Amino acid sequence: MAQVKVALAGLGAVGLKVAEWLDSDDARTLGQGLDLVAATASSESSARTKLAGLTHQPSYLSPGDLAEAADVVVECLPPDLFRAVAEPTVKAGKVLMPLSVTQLLVNWDIVDLATETGARIIVPTGALLGLDAVRAAAEGTLRSVTMRTRKPPAGLAKAPFVIEQGIDLSDLSEPLRLYQGSVRDAAQKFPANVNVAVALSLAGAGPDETQYEIWADPGVTRNTHVIEVDAAEVSFEMSIAGVPTEENPATGKLTPLSTIAALKALVQPLKIGS
Ligand SMILES: NC(=O)C1=CN([C@@H]2O[C@H](COP(=O)(O)OP(=O)(O)OC[C@H]3O[C@@H](n4cnc5c(N)ncnc54)[C@H](OP(=O)(O)O)[C@@H]3O)[C@@H](O)[C@H]2O)C=CC1
Ligand SMILES: O=C([O-])CC(=O)C(=O)O
């Protein structure tokens, strides 16, 4: 059986780690195998520099051309570039693995398009946990889902809401709640910080019904998310404390690992968890 061809849109905190794993024997020989055939970054020279250590060099393609070369396109770009990758991938009936999950909410026509073309959109759990349990609970009678995020202020400094409101996070002495409300609204205000909240909402109660808070907290060094789920059949609380990556303080180190796990699930014969 032919290897599954993978393209990486983005070689930052998420994409480069995934590229390095895809270059390994582990990825290339697992099940039918995964093959990194193409990648994109802000320029070809940037991509070539980042990928210089790889044994198997992928082609460099623009975001819109990745889908033609691959079976699976992993999108890990800045949020505003999501559509440039997602639309051609879904149009071509390929598998889209998006990390900029906030962008699904404002590009929902792409999800609709997937039903027409047969494309699949597989959202890795990313920096979160427990989406399997939330999905299962949603098959019963879900009553409420709430989530509270605390991040070191540096990870929130570039959020459009923080910039527009002129909020100075550089010298906080105590936690500051930046937002309380629906996930849908939070996704617009903090597009690069609440991907996990959007994934949680799509797994469960939806972006309008999932209640969300985000805090800039000088007392934490990790990206911390606490989730409470209440349903007729079950209630549970989950928390996770992700170490920010060196490359991007907004992105936790679990995110590339979760993406690798999601890619493995495409080719492994045994799948654990629903
Ligand atoms: N779902 C989840 O759980 C999580 C999702 N995310 C999201 O994942 C996405 C990726 O995050 P992260 O890896 O930290 O981002 P980074 O900022 O570290 O990397 C972004 C990548 O995009 C490339 N890029 C920038 N501009 C362009 C352009 N014009 N054309 C092509 N490529 C470009 C950069 O290129 P270069 O390398 O040349 O600079 C870089 O490789 C973000 O949207 C983030 O919000 C983050 C954390 C958790
Ligand atoms: O890394 C995290 O904790 C989550 C994150 O940035 C996001 O959801 O965008």
Residue 1 is predicted with a pLDDT of: 85
Residue 163 is predicted with a pLDDT of: 97
Q: Which atom of ligand 2 is nearest to the CA of 194?
A: 8
Compute mean pLDDT per 10 residues along the chain, 274 residues long, and list them: 96 98 97 98 98 98 98 98 98 98 98 98 98 98 98 95 97 97 97 97 98 98 97 98 95 97 96 89
CA distance 107 to 247: 27
Which amino acid residue places its CA nearest to atom 27 of ligand 1?
Answer: 42
DSSP secondary structure of 223-265? EEEEEEEEESS-EEEEEEEEPBPSS-TTSBTHHHHHHHHHHHH
Rounded distance from Cα 142 to ligand 1 centre (Å): 33
Which amino acid residue places its CA nearest to atom 39 of ligand 1?
Answer: 42
Catalytic center residues: 225
Contacts of 7 (CB under 8 A, 6+ apart): 36, 37, 38, 39, 40, 58, 61, 66, 67, 69, 70, 72, 73, 74
Rounded distance from Cα 121 to ligand 1 centre (Å): 18
Residue 274 is predicted with a pLDDT of: 83
Residue 63 is predicted with a pLDDT of: 97
Which amino acid residue places its CA nearest to atom 15 of ligand 1?
Answer: 12
**Ligand 1 pocket member 133 (CB < 6 A):** no
Q: Does the predicted interface ipTM exceed a cut of 0.90?
A: yes
pTM of the model: 0.97
Residue 39 is predicted with a pLDDT of: 98
Q: Which of 251, 253, 259, 260 to mutate to test the pocket of ligand 1 (most atoms within 8 A of CB)?
A: 251
| Annotated binding residue 195 | yes
CA–CA distances in Å: residue 34 to residues 17, 41, 73, 86, 247: 15, 20, 12, 20, 25
Q: CA-based Rg of the chain, rounded to a whole angstrom?
A: 19
Domains and their CATH numbers in the chain: 4-127+254-267 (3.40.50.720), 131-242 (3.30.360.10)
Using N-to-C axis directions, what is the helix angle for 82-91 and 108-117, rounded to 10°?
Answer: 20
**Ligand 2 pocket member 127 (CB < 6 A):** yes
Task: Record the tokens describing residue 258, joined without a space.
Answer: 């979760």
**Ligand 2 pocket member 14 (CB < 6 A):** no
